[in-house]
Chains A and B, each alone.
Chain A
Amino acid sequence: MAKIKKERNNDVNIPTSSMSDIAFLLLLFFMVSTVFVQEKKFWVERERWPIADSIERIPRNHTTTIYVMRDETILIDDIPTRIESSEDVFVYNTLVSKKTEDPEVVVCFRTDRETKYGVMSDVMRQLQDANALVVAFESQKRQ
């Protein structure tokens, strides 16, 4: 007697019910781990930076930014200061505390390209005194 084959109706399904949970977990992870930039204002616009070719990428996690504006105003953590005499040591004091917090701190300059070099020299002297020796001059990549 011949066997009669039974048709199987079982569908093969990949369970997708937990897919949304996984996706939302990923979404939550990205939302929680995102760190927003703390600077309140971009004091020197990117268009005002000098142009250069040999640019290195500097990871943000060990950096602190010093803005130097054309009128020789210096901004650290959005606090403006000037170096007019040897008694103006705000840059030195701030960098000493930053260096204590993070010994690998990299000081990034966002300086207007028209700024006179004298003020940069004064700031760098205070950095040397504070032993914050690694600096980066932020620049636009030449197109």
Chain B
Amino acid sequence: MKIGRKRKGKAEIPTSSMSDIAFLLIIFFMATTKFDVKEGIKIVLPQAAQESSEKVETITLTEKEMTRMQILPDGTIVINKESPREIGNPELDALIKQKLDINDQMIFKVITDREAKYSETIRVVDRLKAANAEKISLSTN
């Protein structure tokens, strides 16, 4: 007759590598997480004119105080009263710098035609922001 021997070995799940697995998971999540921060050109719109407001001041601005930049449907730009022409980024930068040298508080009024491309307005606003122009007004005709 066979006599059964009692086994003394305990059945254990090895947990020594558990922390390695957990840290690997953390590193994986940390490395693959992409924070969705939005990136764009920030602008603060003026408040809407209230019909009930009694005092509406009309101010006349000269060319030393305000530069009018009108964007036409074909992408050409009219600066103040000049004739419309295509203006590339380097020329636009130089022009904005020249205007800011005259007056660093210059107001830039960007008037975009309803039929003009949105990207053209963004291009002009981008160049204005890049030149640190602080007073930018957006409107349409």
A interface vs B, CB < 8 Å?
16-17, 19-20, 22-24, 26-27, 30, 34, 37, 50-60, 63, 68, 106, 108-109, 111-118, 120-121, 124-125, 127-129, 131, 133-139, 141
Contact = CB atoms under 8 A, between A and B. Distances in A.
* Shortest beta-carbon contacts, A-B, top 4: A118-B114, A23-B22, A113-B119, A54-B129
Interface of B: 15-16, 18-19, 21-23, 25-26, 29-30, 33, 36-48, 71, 112-123, 125-126, 129-130, 138-140
Given A24-B22, A58-B37, A117 B121 contact: yes
A117 B112 CA distance: 7
Q: Is the interface of A mostly helix, strand, loop or mixed?
A: mixed
Contacts of A139: 39-41, 122, 126
Contact of A111 (B25, B114, B118): B118
A2 B130 CA distance: 85
A114 B122 CA distance: 11
Nearest to A116: B115
B41 A55 contact: yes
A124 B120 CA distance: 17
Which one of A52, A58, A63, A124 has the greatest number of beta carbons of chain B within 10 Å?
A: A52
A43 to B, nearest CB: 15
A115 B112 CA distance: 12
Nearest to A115: B118
A117 B114 contact: yes
A19 B14 CA distance: 14
Given A117-B118, A128-B46, A16 B19 contact: yes
A121 B48 contact: no
Contact of B44 (A24, A59, A133): A133
Nearest to B49: A128
B26 A26 contact: yes
Contact of B38 (A121, A124, A138): A138
Given A23-B22, A127-B45, A50 B119 contact: yes
29 contacts: A16-B16, A17-B15, A20-B15, A23-B23, A23-B25, A27-B26, A30-B26, A50-B122, A54-B130, A55-B41, A58-B38, A59-B38, A108-B38, A113-B118, A113-B119, A114-B117, A114-B119, A116-B116, A117-B117, A117-B118, A120-B118, A124-B138, A128-B47, A133-B44, A133-B47, A135-B43, A136-B40, A137-B40, A137-B125
B116 A117 contact: yes
A115 B71 CA distance: 14
